Amino acid sequence: MTVIGTGAEKVFSVMTQQPAQMDTLANIALSNGIRFYQDGNYDAAVREFKRAVSLSPQSDNSVNAYDFLATTYLQIGNKNEAVKAYQLALRLSPNRDDLHNKLGNILHDQGDTDQAIKEYKAALQIAPNSTAYLYSLGQAYLAKGSLEDARAQFEKIINLAPQYYGGYYGLGQTYYRAGQYEKAIDQFEKVIASKEDFLYARVDLGYALADLGRVDEAYEQENILQDKDPSLAVTLSNYIYQTSKPEFLIAYSDTGFNTTLGPRTPLSTLNSNLSSPNASREFTMKFIFNKKMDISTVENPYNWAISRASRQIKGGPYNWGLPISSTEENIPLFPKQVIYNPKSSTAMVIFTITQNASGNGTIDPSHIVFKFYGKDAYGNKMSPSANEYSGISKIV
């Protein structure tokens, strides 16, 4: 009996010691994997984390090994394997809210928004007051275009942690996506007030200002970013450039059409060839734009208009509102031709002036208005505040 009892005790001892030994070996493999990861030896880290799982597949070491394995896969750009690692970890430990959130982040990054939302919701079932998880869920809803759902998450964050800038930032993004730029600006300014070094808020603030046409204010944000993060400054500057409405910068004539000359200027003053009755002469006006323009719209003469200034136009009406003399000549409403130089963003507007049969025609060059209705290279229409020119009003 003694011999049999002793043998049974030995078998029981081996059986109870083996899982503990395997857990110890798994822990050693996990530690080795972490060390390899820290050294940047990711292939070796993967091997050790997998070894830890195989040695003790049902233990906490295995869950942690899967977590580190996923992190390593992310480091080497293998997101699909990272997803599998987190899924396996969650089979062992479904109540790990952090793992649900991490898995959701990868799925979100891969564009699998619906599955990401499921994982974020699972994390919030476990930790309902986590502002980090609420923020992740809100961002996923934004990506999906579910703006009301997104707003609800960010408002929850604000209620839970009014001092945390993330809720205001997400709410600002939501308003921006909805085209409510003024409300978005208010939220982004709150972010900057509470966390000045969160520079993405300045970028988004600049976007919203540019979309509202408040270009000067948008460029103020770009100037601030120049000192703090030049790359973000470039990003914002490019956006402002692309979305801002085009304008005339400078207008001039180098063919004798002197826009400083006032009412009842003899046509012969513009060019001696117009001294002869019924003579015609081509003139040009050159317009420099503040950005690249759509060539087809610029070179379409019917996108331009040449007219006499009305009383509503800055600089006063044609002939200062005095009665029009019978000698006054009209310039055709549309130019004869327009040539655009994309290198200098300059349009050369060619138009014709014809002398009358008596040879005594007059004109008021200072009150001839040139207006353009076309678009820039990004599809933006001309700014109403700088889409016309006359010698008196200049660019308006």
Q: Answer yes or no: do 230 and 265 share one domain.
A: no
Q: Is residue 3 part of a domain?
A: no
The pLDDT value recorded for residue 10 is 46
pLDDT at 16 over 60: no
Q: Is residue 228 part of a domain?
A: yes
Q: Is residue 375 part of a domain?
A: yes
* Domain end among 244, 279, 300: 244
Q: What CATH number is given to the structural domain containing 222?
A: 1.25.40.10
Please, which pLDDT band fits residue 6 given cuts at 50, 70 and 90?
low
The pLDDT value recorded for residue 13 is 41
pLDDT at 145 over 60: yes
What does each C-alpha distance from 181 to 48, 146, 191 come to in angstroms? 51, 18, 15
* Domain end among 213, 244, 275: 244
Higher pLDDT, 6 or 369: 369
Q: Answer yes or no: do 235 and 298 share one domain.
A: no
Q: Is residue 287 part of a domain?
A: yes
The pLDDT value recorded for residue 349 is 98
Q: Answer yes or no: do 271 and 361 share one domain.
A: yes
Q: Answer yes or no: do 323 and 335 share one domain.
A: yes
Q: How far apart are CA 278 and CA 354, in angstroms?
A: 6
User: What is the residue range of 294's domain?
Assistant: 248-395
Q: Is residue 70 part of a domain?
A: no
| Span 20-54, pLDDT tens digits | 788 899 999 999 999 999 999 999 999 999 999 99
The pLDDT value recorded for residue 295 is 98
HEC-encoded secondary structure of the chain:
CHHHHHHHHHHHHHHHHHHHHHHHHHHHHHHHHHHHHHCCCHHHHHHHHHHHHHHCCCCHHHHHHHHHHHHHHHHCCCHHHHHHHHHHHHHHCCCCHHHHHHHHHHHHHCCCHHHHHHHHHHHHHHCCCCHHHHHHHHHHHHHHCCHHHHHHHHHHHHHHCCCCHHHHHHHHHHHHHCCCHHHHHHHHHHHHHHCCCCCHHHHHHHHHHHHCCCHHHHHHHHHHHHHHCHHHHHHHHHHHHHHCCCCEEEEECCCCCCCCCCCCEEHHHHCHHHHCCCCEEEEEEEEEECCCECHHHHCCHHHEEEEECCCCCCCCCHHHHCCCCCCECCCCCCCCEEEEECCCCEEEEEEEEECCCCCCCEECHHHEEEEECCEECCCCECCCCCCEEECCCEEC
The pLDDT value recorded for residue 94 is 97
Average pLDDT over residues 187-196: 97
Q: Is residue 97 part of a domain?
A: no
Q: How far apart are CA 291 and CA 249, in angstroms?
A: 9
Q: Answer yes or no: do 240 and 256 share one domain.
A: no
Structural domain count, the chain: 2
| Span 214-235, pLDDT tens digits | 999 999 999 999 999 999 999 9
The pLDDT value recorded for residue 311 is 85
Q: Answer yes or no: do 361 and 264 share one domain.
A: yes
Average pLDDT over residues 326-339: 97
The pLDDT value recorded for residue 7 is 52
Q: How far apart are CA 194 and CA 64, in angstroms?
A: 36
The pTM score is 0.81
Residue 78 is classified by DSSP as -
Under 8 Å between Cβ of 334 and 301: yes
The pLDDT value recorded for residue 15 is 39
Look up residue 284 and give its two tokens. 């040009």
Per the prediction, the chain carries an average pLDDT of 94
| Span 346-362, pLDDT tens digits | 999 999 999 999 999 99
pLDDT at 137 over 70: yes
Q: Answer yes or no: do 270 and 391 share one domain.
A: yes
Q: Answer yes or no: do 212 and 253 share one domain.
A: no
* Domain end among 192, 215, 244: 244
The pLDDT value recorded for residue 59 is 83
Please, which pLDDT band fits residue 298 given cuts at 50, 70 and 90?
very high
Radius of gyration in angstroms for the set of CA atoms belonging to the chain, rounded to a whole number: 36
| Span 56-76, pLDDT tens digits | 898 888 999 999 999 999 999
pLDDT at 303 over 70: yes
Q: What angle do CA 306, 214, 305 make, to 5 degrees?
A: 5
> Percent of the chain beyond pLDDT 70?
95
Q: Is residue 357 part of a domain?
A: yes
Q: Answer yes or no: do 310 and 344 share one domain.
A: yes
Average pLDDT over residues 309-316: 88
The pLDDT value recorded for residue 177 is 98
pLDDT at 2 over 60: no
Q: Answer yes or no: do 227 and 292 share one domain.
A: no
Q: Answer yes or no: do 234 and 272 share one domain.
A: no
Q: Answer yes or no: do 188 and 240 share one domain.
A: yes
The pLDDT value recorded for residue 313 is 81
The pLDDT value recorded for residue 12 is 40
Average pLDDT over residues 271-288: 97
> Percent of the chain beyond pLDDT 90?
91
Average pLDDT over residues 79-93: 97
Q: Is residue 339 part of a domain?
A: yes
Average pLDDT over residues 367-392: 97
